[in-house]
A and B are shown apart, each in its own frame.
Chain A
Amino acid sequence: MNLSVEVAGVPFKNPLIAASGTFGFGEEYNELYDVSCLGGICSKGLTLHPKDGNEGYRVWETASGMMNSVGLQNPGVEAFVQTGIAQMRRFGNVLIANMGGHSMDDYITGASMLSESDIDMLELNISCPNVKSGGMAFGIKADVAKEVVSNVRKVCSKPLIVKLSPNAENIVEMALACEEAGADALSLVNTFQAMAIDLRKRKPVFNNVYAGLSGAAIKPIALRMVHSVCKRVQVPVIGIGGIYTAEDVLEFVMAGAAAVQLGTVHFNNPLAGREVLEALSQLCRREGIADIGEIRGIC
């Protein structure tokens, strides 16, 4: 029973990838189980310069999910290149560096540095607010995203995954624009812009007022978006959004995904990475699926 997949020329021993921001650089969850078992790990989102992240509450549970506004706390691209990569390499799986930026220059400089490093793939986070356009994220309008991806493409020789925001004006248009601009693959979706209010304090929970919603609640919408994008693009698509079980994984593959990311589920079940992998093998066997590629895009 073959779970191996290929995304933009990069071989993965299985389609499970740990989502950026939910897994650090792999160290912590590796204390609970051997994270080498995963097909790949996305690093915490990096920015050119180190960031402390947001003040106040950063996480909040919701029905069937959670919200986060961590604010990209990270050690910066240089520190990651110096020490983070070697740390992640020990796991022997596909090493995906996730990077965001707040200005075009940051994206270009950061991407150049990472392109020269030993990462396997670069996942471009375009959900970051653009300081120059009053904080509107790069990934809302297709033409803005196209410019970022084009500029990064010029300096990045590594396989380039563009991670799409579901808050985009039109996710299919966004996907096509990023493909046109040179993305080797797309990953979708990032978190949905959402809000919570703390009744006792009579204030928004988050200092930034809005925060990103993730988890099981978003799965049906994420699945629809993956499906609609897969219908239109040629490049491989990595599915993300409320995937908690092996059944969820297969749904995304049937919708067209070449691989998937697991995020919020790690907080509900710290062993999810390993358990979903084991369950995936068993499920494929039960369903008579000899090779996971057999069912890709059948819906």
Chain B
Amino acid sequence: MKYLESKVVDNQRLTDDIYVLCVTYQGDAVQAGQFYMLKSWDTELTLMRPISVFKSDNDHLWFMYRTVGQGTKRMTLLAKGDSIRLLGPCGNGYPCESIKGKVAVVGGGVGIPPLCETAKVLQKNGAEVDAFLGFRDVLFAVEDFEPWCSRIFVSTEKGEEGYRGFVTDLLKPEEYDVVLTCGPEVMMRKVAAMCAEAGVTCYCSLENRMACGIGACLGCSIRTRNGMKRVCKDGPVFLSSELNW
């Protein structure tokens, strides 16, 4: 884990509030489901922002982020050649090496991006991956899943494309060996409940307000069946059976 200065290669607006940031990267190897603490400011904002890795290659990282507050809005100003600071890779990521067979990745909204890197790693490890991607209205990132997934199911709550409703309506957990999910808590709770019912292992990627991002400040700790855990360091990925859901 390192604190690095990187250069912006591209910062593209995809929708009203979704952007994809590409930066040069010469740090430690990154695992699917890990995140970085980012900042494109000095002290104008106090804290760095935890954003999951969307894609990676040997020399670059991609982050897909939604503008939800001051930090992410400031990030939209980044242009090619600008500097950005990265702290990471943070967190435990999905345990991809131990996941084989048929896998479903179930994502909601801006929880979808980390599942893309995850789908790639799983597919390269020989797993068969189906993606279930749920959106409110506008779609994004769907194409990025195509190289790695056997099937892609898309749903929108209010939009025009795909199935009209919740992505969990489309999921049959019993068809899979493992289900990986990331998105709004209410969605992940539903996925976890469905998997528990079907007796299928489920991993959830949580988020929380963070300060240090590296496990020092205990600002992001949550209560689990195995005691207090730091979302930034012991997570963000947890077995759904470990959570108090």
What residues make up the interface of A, taking CB atoms closer than 8 Å to B? 21-24, 27-29, 31-32, 44, 52-53, 55, 57-62, 64-66, 68, 70, 73, 215-216, 244, 264, 266-268, 270-271
Contact = CB atoms under 8 A, between A and B. Distances in A.
A52 to B, nearest CB: 5
A191 to B, nearest CB: 13
27 contacts: A21-B217, A21-B218, A22-B212, A22-B216, A24-B218, A27-B216, A28-B214, A28-B216, A31-B1, A32-B214, A52-B227, A55-B223, A57-B208, A59-B219, A59-B220, A61-B46, A66-B47, A68-B217, A68-B219, A70-B218, A73-B218, A73-B228, A267-B47, A267-B211, A268-B43, A268-B48, A271-B3
A44 B218 contact: yes
Given A31-B1, A268-B43, A271-B3, A70 B217 contact: yes
A22 B2 CA distance: 18
A57 B221 CA distance: 9
B86 to A, nearest CB: 11
Nearest to A69: B219
B115 to A, nearest CB: 25
Contacts of B47: 59, 61, 66, 267-268
B29 interface: no
Contacts of A24: 215-218
B18 interface: no
Contact of A58 (B2, B39, B48, B221): B221
A70 B214 contact: no
A279 to B, nearest CB: 14
B214 A68 contact: no
Interface in B209-239: 209-221, 223, 227-228, 233
Nearest to B233: A28
B72 to A, nearest CB: 12
Nearest to A244: B43
Given A55-B223, A268-B43, A31 B209 contact: no
Contacts of B87: 32, 270
B209 A62 contact: no
A29 B216 contact: yes
A268 B216 contact: no
Nearest to A217: B46
B45 interface: yes
A216 B45 CA distance: 11
A153 B221 CA distance: 34
Contact of A60 (B209, B217, B228): B209
Given A31-B1, A44-B218, 8 more contacts: A22-B212, A24-B218, A29-B214, A29-B216, A59-B219, A61-B47, A66-B211, A267-B213
Interface in B168-221: 208-221
Given A55-B223, A58-B220, A271-B3, A28 B46 contact: no
B43 A22 contact: no
Interface in B1-26: 1-3
A28 B3 CA distance: 12
B43 A216 contact: yes
B219 A70 contact: yes
A64 B70 CA distance: 13
B214 A270 contact: yes
Nearest to B71: A61
Given A23-B216, A53-B221, A65 B46 contact: yes
A52 B244 CA distance: 15
Nearest to A72: B218
